């Protein structure tokens, strides 16, 4: 989202307002999903199917040594999607109280989470050539367009040779701004344009199945 597209929201406090909202949210699965914890299993199931195409098919080249969970919260995606498939997972999360809850939520497998990084995506500086998969889910709406392009570019440099960025986000027919949590629901075309601006390409895209019809459409994109 470019600055000009943010004129109708509180640009000066865009990131601050988002953090204030999430700082007030309980460190639970229901808190992570905005009261929609009942969709968690369906969400994870479709994510597993999508991810396995790149790491467990006969023609897969992407390794399973190290993944990064962006907007990790208490570790719902880390625990249920990434740790079962990767040797190690780092968690990147804006709010420290979510990360503080992660060891209790994840349990013994937390030993395979070397780093819990408390940072906004716009400020994150990843190590180069580190991650096989960078997973971003329901978090990119908290970035402006310019910062999202920059984030994609930094993530590209953080990937291993056959690594991938995968993001899973709400999309709408028309761009919408949510004042409650200071986030932006982009159109599919907006996301595709930002991927292109970052010098990346979509190699696979799919729509989340079996979500309630009154929710936003959710799409998964694999880019590199």
pLDDT confidence band for 6 (50 / 70 / 90): very low
pLDDT of amino acid 130: 98
* pLDDT above 70 coverage of the chain, percent: 95
pLDDT of amino acid 2: 45
135-182 confidence digits (pLDDT tens): 999 999 999 999 999 999 999 999 999 999 999 999 999 999 999 999
β-bridge pairing 131-137 and 116-118: unpaired
What does pTM read for this prediction?
A: 0.95
Known binder of ligand: residue 88? no
pLDDT of amino acid 200: 98
Mean pLDDT to the nearest integer, 89-103: 98
Known binder of ligand: residue 76? yes
Nearest to 85 by CA among 50, 33, 126, 127: 50
User: Could you tell me which residues are beta bridge partners of residue 12?
Assistant: none
20-69 confidence digits (pLDDT tens): 999 999 999 999 999 999 999 999 999 999 999 999 999 999 999 999 99
Domains and CATH numbers, the chain: 3-223 (3.40.50.150)
173-211 confidence digits (pLDDT tens): 999 999 999 999 999 999 999 999 999 999 999 999 999
Known binder of ligand: residue 81? no
């Amino acid at each position: 989202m470019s600055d000009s597209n943010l004129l109708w929201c509180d640009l000066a406090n865009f990131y601050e307002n988002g953090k204030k909202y999430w700082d007030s949210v309980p460190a639970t699965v229901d808190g992570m999903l905005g009261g929609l914890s009942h969709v968690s299993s369906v969400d994870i199931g479709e994510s597993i199917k999508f991810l396995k195409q790149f790491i467990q098919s006969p023609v897969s080249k992407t390794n399973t040594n190290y993944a990064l969970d962006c907007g990790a919260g208490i570790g719902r995606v880390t625990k249920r999607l990434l740790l079962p498939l990767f040797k190690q997972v780092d968690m990147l999360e804006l709010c420290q109280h979510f990360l503080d809850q992660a060891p209790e939520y994840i349990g013994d497998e937390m030993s395979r989470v070397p780093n819990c990084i408390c940072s906004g995506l716009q400020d994150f500086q990843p190590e180069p050539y580190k991650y096989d998969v960078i997973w971003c889910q329901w978090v990119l709406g908290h970035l402006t367009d310019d910062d999202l392009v920059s984030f994609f570019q930094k993530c590209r440099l953080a990937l291993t040779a056959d690594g991938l960025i995968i993001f899973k986000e709400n999309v709408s027919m028309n761009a919408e701004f949510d004042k409650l949590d200071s986030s932006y629901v982009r159109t599919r075309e907006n996301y595709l344009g930002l991927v292109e601006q970052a010098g990346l390409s979509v190699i696979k895209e799919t729509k989340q199945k079996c979500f309630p019809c009154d929710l936003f459409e959710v799409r998964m994109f694999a880019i590199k």
